Amino acid sequence: MSALDSTPNVPAITDALLPGHQAKIRPAIGMRAILTRWWVAFSLSSVCVVSGHLMIKAGLNTLTAAGNSSSGVIGRVAHAVMQPEVVGGLLVYCFGTVCWMIAVSQKDISFLYPLSSLNYVLVVVASAVLFAEVISTKRALGVALIVMGMVLLNRKSSEERS
């Protein structure tokens, strides 16, 4: 019996989302073993969700500001959704959602959901770097408040430490 086989009660959602995992190479660390660690699934979720949003923004930035007003609302929306960066961003975002489902199946949502506020911080930083967006003092203070909130929510109390 391998170390992976002795993993206690791996959630059913992992099995459903990774069909045929038994046929894959099991030795050291397989895909299932990696994704059964909540923090890996959560981290992948954050990276994919943030990347997806940024790709969608990049795709929408390629559209002209005025757009093609003669094509109507449906035509403009269809044109925007068919941008390669938008399609790619939606696919990456969907993969992030699958990773989120795996993480939530392994850990309390009341623990994970506040941590997902990290996505706000990552988007603000990345938008400043990639799109040269200006981060105002108020926005920076808001991001700092989010970070402080995440620290407070996830800090162990004295009862939990003992």
Nearest to 7 by CA among 46, 135, 26, 108: 26
What pLDDT, on the 0 to 100 scale, is given for residue 50?
97
7's tokens: 């993993």
Provide the token pair at 5. 């086989």
Count helices and strands (H / E) in the chain.
9, 0
CA distance 60 to 85: 8
Q: Residue 128 and residue 142: Cα distance in Å, rounded?
A: 15
CA-CA distance, 119 to 52, in Å (whole number)? 11
Q: Where are the domains of the chain?
A: 37-157
Could you tell me which residue, 133 or 28, shows the higher pLDDT?
A: 133
pTM of the model: 0.71
Does residue 81 contact residue 87 with C-beta atoms inside 8 Å? yes
CA–CA separation, 128 and 122 (whole Å): 10
8: pLDDT strictly greater than 70: no
What's the pLDDT band for 37 if we cut at 50, 70, 90? confident
Segment 62-67 mean pLDDT: 65
- Separation CA 138–CA 140 (nearest Å): 5
Q: Report how far residue 141's alpha carbon sits from residue 137's, in angstroms, rounded to the nearest whole number.
A: 6
Confidence at residue 111, expressed as pLDDT on a 0 to 100 scale = 87
Mean local confidence (pLDDT), 48-65: 90
- Euclidean distance between CA atoms 104 and 113, whole angstroms: 9
